[in-house]
């Protein structure tokens, strides 16, 4: 625009000069003599008039150029504002659509559950020599760390103190330094409601609370008092909240019950307190898991009371029931469309585990649960996945001890 208006000014000036020259020669005496006063006066008037016209034309052109520049700036500003408004509108629209999408389609979540974990001297030695990869295979580790939430049964106290429980065949205690094994496996919460958490008394149990707190791992099923033992772990995953509770139906002496001794653990011989906790927790979360210690060691068949308790938990508001203590796998059933996994068996323990599973639970936006079993075993105190025919054989075995389920070749469980 600036170049175009400058060219116009030059053209106008040239035309004015040419006009003045022609006018001069047209009025100048034909034979080269002096001009008369009238001629000079006439000439001066003409020059003055033409000069005024030229100046007026120049001024008009300048004003037009300024106006043109201002108009161009206004137009550019208008275009920029329009583009900005459009971008903002698109952004707002996109943000609204995203918000609506999140509201209408809550994200799915994956929860990984492991069975009994005891960091035995064999496991400690593997960890010292090879780190976490000496304890668990790369694939299983990836499944646990990539899950939105991971939970396990911690079958021991983290402590170097306390007094060993009398008249108990097996007592466990682990150096708090090894909380790193749990954190490296991506474990978010553990249940302490089992028959080994108080192997070295309340002092060791208190040390356990402190060690887990320091490691950033939550715990359920035990506490310094009844209120803490009944307290759920609630965590957000995607657009939904997930709650976890735990209790034990297996303790060696009644003193371990938090109602009789504090600190202690929540027990479910009488399920009243656990059912109360389930009802209260259900108000604060979208999906609730209950992890319970029960059954008979080495038995792959659930006791009648296990079924009765599991159904009562679901009636109270639980969406999923997970079991531990038998140290072997038990079957899977559904009650009112909600799964009960009676025992996950040992996951990390001593040197050998013939069969176990890492349970993956995918929770859909409408609160449906899709179970997938990742079969595993342990040799030389390292747990690793099964594959091929070995995995298929384990699936067929689990179908045979379960009620009304099918397990596909990828481990996905479905109701018949």
Q: What is the DSSP string of 182-244?
A: HHHTT--EEE--SSSTTTTHHHHHHHHHHHHHHHT-EEESEESSHHHHTPPEEEEETTEEEEE
Return all residues near 26 (Cβ < 8 A) that are at least 6 apart.
Answer: none
Pairing of strands 233-237, 240-248: antiparallel
Residue 99 and residue 278: Cα distance in Å, rounded?
Answer: 31
**Which whole number is the average pLDDT over 108-130?**
97
Return all residues near 70 (Cβ < 8 A) that are at least 6 apart.
Answer: none
Q: How far is CA 204 from CA 160, 255, 259, in A?
A: 7, 15, 18
> Do residues 122 and 249 both lie within one domain?
yes
Which backbone phi and psi does 412 adopt, to 5 degrees?
A: -75, 130
Pairing of strands 405-407, 413-415: antiparallel
What's the domain range around 14?
2-102
Phi-psi region of 253 (alpha: psi -120 to 50; beta: other; left: phi over 0): beta
Number of Cβ atoms within 10 Å of the Cβ of 336? 7
Residue 233 and residue 244: Cα distance in Å, rounded?
Answer: 5
> Do residues 116 and 251 both lie within one domain?
yes
> Do residues 172 and 270 both lie within one domain?
yes
Residue 4 and residue 24: Cα distance in Å, rounded?
Answer: 31
Distance of CA 262 to the CA centre of its chain: 35
Number of Cβ atoms within 10 Å of the Cβ of 23? 15
> Do residues 228 and 82 both lie within one domain?
no
Pairing of strands 109-117, 353-363: antiparallel
DSSP 8-class letter at 218 = E
> Do residues 145 and 174 both lie within one domain?
yes
Residue 290 and residue 221: Cα distance in Å, rounded?
Answer: 10
The Cα diameter of the chain in Å comes to: 148
Domain boundary among 102, 131, 154: 102
Residue 1 and residue 3: Cα distance in Å, rounded?
Answer: 6
Average pLDDT, the chain: 84
Residues 349, 352, 355, 359: is their CA dihedral positive or negative?
positive
Q: Which two structure tokens, joined as six digits, stand for 100?
A: 């609506």
Residue 354 and residue 248: Cα distance in Å, rounded?
Answer: 25
Instruction: Give the model's pLDDT for residue 16.
Output: 46
pLDDT in tens, 263-282: 999 999 999 999 999 999 99
CB 314 within 8 A of CB 336: yes
Q: How wide is the angle at C-alpha 89 spanned by C-alphas 85 and 95, nearest 5°?
A: 145
> Do residues 181 and 82 both lie within one domain?
no
pTM of this structure:
0.76
pLDDT band at 116 (very low <50, low <70, confident <90, very high): very high
pLDDT in tens, 154-186: 999 999 999 999 999 999 999 999 999 999 999
**Which whole number is the average pLDDT over 249-265?**
97
> Do residues 187 and 321 both lie within one domain?
yes
Which backbone phi and psi does 55 adopt, to 5 degrees?
A: -65, -40
Helix (H, G, I), strand (E, B) or coil at 237: strand
pLDDT in tens, 192-242: 999 999 999 999 999 999 999 999 999 999 999 999 999 999 999 988 999
Residue 247 and residue 223: Cα distance in Å, rounded?
Answer: 11
Q: Is the pLDDT of residue 37 over 90?
A: no
DSSP 295-357: S-TT--S--HHHHHHHHHHHHHT-SEEEEESSSSB--EEEETTEEEE--B-EEE-SS-EEEEE
Lowest average pLDDT, out of 8-12, 140-144, 326-330, goes to 8-12
* Total structural domains within the chain: 2
> Do residues 239 and 372 both lie within one domain?
yes
> Do residues 90 and 122 both lie within one domain?
no
Distance of CA 246 to the CA centre of its chain: 23
> Do residues 43 and 181 both lie within one domain?
no
> Do residues 115 and 88 both lie within one domain?
no
pLDDT in tens, 282-294: 999 999 999 999 9
Q: How far is CA 56 from CA 43, 65, 404, in A?
A: 20, 14, 101
Helix (H) or strand (E) holding 358: strand 353-363
Domain boundary among 55, 87, 102: 102
pLDDT in tens, 347-399: 999 999 999 999 999 999 888 999 999 999 999 999 999 999 999 999 999 99
CATH code, 144: 3.60.21.10
Domain boundary among 51, 68, 102: 102
End-to-end C-alpha distance for the chain, whole angstroms:
79
Q: How wide is the angle at C-alpha 324 spanned by C-alphas 174 and 312, nearest 5°?
A: 135
> Do residues 115 and 250 both lie within one domain?
yes
């Amino acid at each position: 625009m600036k170049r175009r208006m400058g060219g116009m000014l030059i053209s106008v000036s040239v035309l004015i000069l040419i006009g003045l020259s022609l006018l001069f020669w047209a009025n100048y005496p034909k034979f080269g003599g002096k001009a008369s006063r009238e001629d000079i006066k006439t000439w001066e008037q003409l020059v003055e008039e033409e000069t005024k016209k030229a100046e007026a034309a120049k001024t008009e052109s300048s004003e037009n150029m300024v106006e043109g520049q201002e108009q161009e700036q206004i137009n550019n500003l208008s275009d920029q504002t329009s583009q900005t408004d459009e971008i903002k509108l698109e952004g707002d629209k996109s943000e609204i659509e995203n918000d609506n999408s999140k509201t209408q389609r809550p994200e799915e979540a994956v929860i990984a559950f492991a069975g009994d974990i005891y960091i035995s001297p064999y496991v400690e030695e593997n960890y010292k020599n090879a780190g976490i990869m000496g304890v668990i295979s790369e694939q299983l580790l990836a499944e646990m760390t990539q899950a939105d939430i991971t939970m396990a049964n911690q079958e021991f106290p983290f402590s170097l103190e306390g007094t060993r429980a009398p008249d108990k065949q097996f007592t466990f205690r682990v150096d708090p330094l090894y909380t790193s094994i749990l954190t490296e496996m991506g474990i978010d919460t553990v249940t302490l409601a089992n028959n080994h958490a108080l192997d070295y008394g309340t002092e060791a149990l208190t040390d356990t609370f402190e060690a887990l707190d320091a490691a950033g791992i939550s715990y359920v099923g035990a506490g310094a008092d009844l209120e803490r033992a009944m307290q759920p772990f609630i965590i957000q995953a995607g657009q939904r909240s997930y709650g976890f509770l735990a209790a034990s139906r297996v303790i060696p002496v009644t003193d371990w019950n938090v109602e009789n001794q504090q600190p202690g653990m929540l027990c479910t011989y009488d399920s009243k307190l656990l059912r109360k906790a389930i009802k209260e927790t259900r108000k604060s979360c979208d999906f609730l898991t209950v992890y319970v210690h029960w059954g008979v060691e080495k038995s792959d068949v659930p006791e009648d009371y296990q079924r009765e308790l599991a159904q009562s938990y679901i009636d109270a508001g639980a969406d999923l029931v997970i079991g531990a203590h038998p140290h072997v796998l038990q079957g899977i059933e559904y009650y009112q469309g909600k799964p009960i996994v009676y025992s996950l068996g040992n996951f990390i323990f001593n040197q050998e585990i013939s069969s176990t599973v890492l349970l993956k639970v995918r929770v859909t936006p409408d609160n449906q649960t899709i179970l997938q079993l990742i079969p595993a075993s342990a040799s030389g105190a390292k747990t690793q996945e099964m594959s091929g025919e070995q995995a298929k054989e384990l699936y067929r075995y689990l179908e045979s001890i379960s009620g009304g389920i099918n397990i596909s070749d990828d481990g996905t469980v479905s109701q018949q």
